[in-house]
Amino acid sequence: MACTETIYIESATTKLERLARIEQIIAALELRVVDTISTSNIEEYDINDGQTKIKTKYVTAESMAKAIEAYDKLANKLRNQLNGRQMVLRDWRGLC
């Protein structure tokens, strides 16, 4: 069954599974960026996790880099939702 990246991510049932799928897409894109930069041709990548098969084409390395950046932002947002942000408050006298 072939589908798009959007359907692949949205079909995840938990945030942790969604994060894993986004990271899988980022890893596949990063591997293909090097080939695209050297050849400057249309590049295609595919992911097959046994249940779903994704094939996506990108025209340039710049479009792939923008996609990686967007997916990375989404992955960071999901990580923050899962782990929460933490802050350490310290007394100013303890810094000396």
Q: Are 56 and 4 in contact (CB under 8 A)?
A: yes
The pTM of the full predicted model, rounded to 2 decimals, is 0.65
pLDDT of residue 1: 55
Cβ atoms < 10 Å from Cβ of 48:
10
pLDDT < 50 stretches in the chain:
none
pLDDT of residue 4: 79
Q: 55-92 burial, b for 16+ CB within 10 Å, e for fewer?
A: ebebeebeebbebbeebeebbeebbeeeeeeeeeeeee
pLDDT of residue 40: 60
Tokens, residue 50? 């046994």
pLDDT of residue 95: 63
pLDDT of residue 94: 64
